[in-house]
């Protein structure tokens, strides 16, 4: 308490009073005191002084800054620091870094200054948290480059990622004050990168909250509907949990097991995913909640006692209620790669409802909630505790070593290893290897060593010969066969799934392909000169986009290898000229913009009767509707500034939205419909139900007869009395579509009707 009183004095003395109201000063003191109080058990001599210094520097640095909500900016670093302590379990170094995480980016303070005041460790973490200058070309992604930079410090200090997750969580909690297009960019980036990252580091609560907040801002009506239904059924769930646990609690007490119960509903995002995936309703989701039995009173040192207590509790639960044999998951004998340990089973309750039961000890529960940070608390008692996470960090290091990869390519490879389940396989000597689910014999070979991977010709699986593309299953014992003459081929990239294998194969191929890249560069240069086109970075960018290649080297390689012939550049020239003529109505100096913001400032108003308003000023301008999602008036949409094709408009729920918004957010433009014209748009509707005579006639009657909608196509398949159909129709807007769906649902025998989200190009 004396520490808090001492800090009160410091705050009164050092507070920059002229920048804050009395209420704001009280709030700053309150938040600062809470950090110290929560972190008290981790603070050693001198820590409080360093935290105070970081706080004062942050106060000074952000004194004139306000957030979009109008609140003082200092609230943000204070809240990030509190999340680090309270929700992740980090200590004083992380508090200091959280308080300072924006000062280098937003002020004249340098990393050199940070190093001088707080030492190299804090400076290194702050460097990892500081964005790099966004001076990229149009084809590069500022977000991906910044993410890659942040990860460069991951293998040295995982706190960089943990503080970044705390930063992102607070930004998502306060997203309501941001503009709509900013909400979409930040939310999609969160679901694309940060929620999977929190999952991989075992931060279950943070991962779930990030997912829920993503849904809150991208599908607000859906979020509210599920939240309200959860709220209205809360008392019913609580009564059921009490009835369900009564006999189990009695038997656990008789067995002298100390325990407590946590009953939690599924998170809103999880329910929404299940509803979408199964094309069902909230009422039809049977496992809306899980019951967690936490065994307490066992020392973390007693690993065997922990395990036996959990299995004893499992035996009591399954004696009382009938288990589903396919739903037993033993994460105690073999923890997940993020360190998660628990027993999961699903049992049938007396009321005829399936209930998921999770059984774990207090130590396991803390690790499940706080993830990586909680491992350090117990590491002294068991050095193997953080082994799975250490293995994953080594995989990240392997991915980062592929320096030739573009940032986007790196991001895709890295993200591929975040959410996926694991497969457990063994070497011939019985050593356990944990790989991403879907891993092949070749993935296994590269996981052992690059030299073994590049010479791999086949595998012996449980004594039987299998090809290198064979997908491994849990419990497989694998022996790798190699030959000196074997060489990696591009075909290998088609079936490997781990980042390590992909990265190594790409590196090996690039080494072999350097000659082709040089040849391709010369071929393009000569052909451009012959066609009278300038050989500039802008032209090469446009060529890369025209031939749909990821980066320059990929483009050069395809020309050098002869996969693309030089004469095809003529097609590029003709299309470029046609595009320029088509877009002559828009007066833009193409060299004047690098991103969406500068584009919005540069374009001039175009006359016409477009129904879509684009940019900050919401003006009318030429655009193309993206064929990957076919937006129609009434849909929530955004504009995307392409390199070659002007503005393309996508639905917010477009299957490509996550990648575009998270990887190329600086090229996203606001867009919304101003009015609906009597113009029709093609949509695809999927429906299903019980087949009967006259079903197709009734469907056609609703579409053409009642609603007078033009139908482009109708296909229906039946099997054992069940039908599934697809209709392609022209509608005016989302209201028109909703009426059609409602009418189709009223047809006898029709069980489900939905708009196809990922429509194929026609």
Catalytic residues: 105-106
Residues paired with residue 685 on neighbouring β-strands, in sequence order: 727, 755
What's the CA gap between 445 and 439, in Å, rounded?
10
Strands 354-361 and 289-295: parallel
Q: How far is CA 557 from the centre of its chain?
A: 31
The distance in angstroms from the start CA to the end CA of the chain is 70
Q: How many secondary structure helices (H) and strands (E) does the chain include?
A: 31, 21
Q: Confirm if 755 and 683 have CB atoms less than 8 A apart.
A: yes
DSSP string, 571-627: HHHHHHHHHHHHTTTS---GGG-SSHHHHHHH-----S--SEEETTTTEE---EE-T
Q: Confirm if 519 and 560 have CB atoms less than 8 A apart.
A: yes
Q: Confirm if 625 and 149 have CB atoms less than 8 A apart.
A: no
What's the CA gap between 527 and 542, in Å, rounded?
15
What's the CA gap between 311 and 80, in Å, rounded?
39
Q: At what angle do helices 22-39 and 2-14 cross, to 10 degrees?
A: 150
Q: Indicate the SS3 state at residue 602.
A: helix
Q: At what angle do helices 568-582 and 499-530 cross, to 10 degrees?
A: 80
User: How many CB atoms within 10 Å of residue 671?
Assistant: 23
What's the CA gap between 386 and 373, in Å, rounded?
10
Q: Confirm if 611 and 676 have CB atoms less than 8 A apart.
A: yes
> Residue 83 has which token pair?
């999340």
Q: Confirm if 92 and 47 have CB atoms less than 8 A apart.
A: yes
Residues paired with residue 620 on neighbouring β-strands, in sequence order: 613
What's the CA gap between 185 and 587, in Å, rounded?
27
């Amino acid at each position: 308490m004396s520490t808090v009183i001492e800090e009160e004095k410091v705050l009164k003395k050092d507070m920059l009073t002229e920048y804050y109201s009395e209420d704001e000063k009280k709030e700053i003191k309150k938040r600062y005191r809470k950090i110290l109080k929560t972190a008290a058990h981790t603070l050693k001599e001198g820590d409080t002084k360093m935290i105070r210094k970081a706080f004062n520097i942050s106060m000074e640095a952000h004194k004139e800054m306000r957030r979009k909500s109008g609140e003082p900016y200092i609230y943000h670093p204070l809240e990030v620091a509190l999340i680090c302590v309270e929700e992740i379990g980090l200590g004083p170094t992380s508090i200091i870094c959280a308080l300072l995480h924006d000062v280098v980016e937003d002020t004249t303070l340098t990393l050199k200054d940070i190093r001088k005041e707080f030492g190299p460790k804090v400076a290194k973490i702050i460097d990892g948290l500081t964005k790099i200058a966004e001076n990229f070309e149009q084809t590069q992604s500022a977000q991906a480059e910044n993410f890659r930079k942040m990860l460069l410090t991951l293998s040295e200090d995982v706190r960089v990622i943990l503080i970044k997750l705390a930063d992102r969580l607070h930004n998502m909690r306060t997203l309501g004050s941001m503009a709509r297009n900013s909400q979409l960019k930040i939310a999609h980036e969160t679901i694309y990168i940060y929620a999977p990252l929190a999952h991989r580091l075992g931060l279950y609560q943070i991962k779930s909250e990030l997912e829920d907040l993503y849904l809150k801002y991208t599908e607000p009506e859906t979020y509210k509907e599920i939240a309200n239904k959860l709220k209205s059924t809360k008392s019913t769930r609580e009564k059921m949990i009490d009835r369900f646990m009564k006999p189990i609690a009695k038997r656990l007490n008789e067995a002298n097991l100390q325990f407590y119960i946590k009953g939690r509903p599924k998170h809103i995002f999880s329910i929404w995913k299940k509803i979408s995936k199964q094309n069902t309703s909230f009422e039809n989701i049977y496992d809306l909640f899980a019951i967690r039995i936490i065994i307490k009173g066992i020392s973390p040192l007693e690993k065997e006692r922990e395990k036996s207590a959990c299995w004893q509790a499992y035996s009591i639960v399954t004696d009382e209620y009938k288990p589903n044999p396919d739903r037993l998951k033993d994460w105690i004998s073999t923890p997940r790669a993020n360190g998660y340990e628990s027993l999961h089973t699903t049992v049938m309750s007396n009321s005829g409802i399936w209930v998921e039961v999770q059984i774990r000890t207090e130590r396991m529960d803390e690790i499940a909630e706080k993830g990586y940070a909680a491992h350090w608390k117990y590491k002294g008692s068991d050095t193997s505790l953080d082994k799975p996470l250490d293995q994953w960090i080594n995989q990240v290091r392997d991915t980062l070593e592929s320096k030739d990869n573009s940032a986007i390519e790196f991001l895709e490879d890295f993200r591929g290893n975040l959410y996926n389940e694991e497969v457990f396989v063994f070497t011939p000597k019985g050593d356990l290897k944990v790989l991403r689910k879907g891993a092949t014999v070749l993935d296994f070979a590269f996981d052992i060593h690059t030299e073994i991977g590049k010479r791999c010709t086949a595998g012996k699986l449980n004594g039987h010969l299998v090809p290198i593309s064979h997908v491994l299953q849990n419990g497989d014992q694998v022996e790798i066969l190699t030959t000196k003459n074997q060489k990696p081929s591009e075909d290998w990239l088609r079936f490997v799934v781990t980042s390590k294998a992909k990265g190594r194969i790409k590196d090996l191929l690039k080494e072999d392909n350097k000659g082709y890249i040089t040849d391709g560069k010369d071929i393009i240069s000569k052909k451009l000169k012959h066609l009278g086109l300038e050989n500039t970075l802008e032209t090469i960018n446009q060529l890369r986009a025209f031939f749909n290649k990821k980066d320059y080297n990929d483009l050069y390689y395809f020309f050098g290898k002869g996969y693309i012939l030089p004469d095809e550049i003529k097609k590029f020239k003709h299309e470029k000229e046609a595009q320029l003529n088509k877009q002559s109505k828009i007066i833009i100096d193409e060299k004047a913009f690098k991103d969406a913001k500068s584009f919005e400032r540069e374009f001039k108003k175009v006359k016409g009767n477009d129904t879509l308003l684009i940019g900050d000023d919401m003006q009318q301008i030429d655009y193309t509707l993206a064929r990957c999602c076919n937006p129609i008036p009434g849909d929530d949409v955004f504009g995307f500034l392409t390199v070659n094709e002007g503005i393309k408009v996508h639905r917010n729920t477009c299957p490509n939205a996550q990648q575009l918004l998270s990887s190329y957010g600086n090229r996203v433009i606001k867009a919304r419909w101003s009015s609906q014209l009597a113009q029709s748009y093609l949509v695809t509707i999927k429906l299903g139900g019980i087949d009967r005579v006259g079903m197709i006639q009734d469907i056609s009657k609703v579409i053409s007869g009642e609603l007078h909608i033009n139908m482009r196509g109708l296909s229906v398949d039946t099997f054992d009395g069940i039908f599934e159909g697809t209709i392609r129709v022209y509608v005016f807007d989302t209201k028109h579509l909703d009426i059609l769906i409602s009418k189709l649902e009223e047809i006898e025998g029709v069980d489900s009707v939905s708009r196809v989200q990922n429509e194929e190009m026609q």
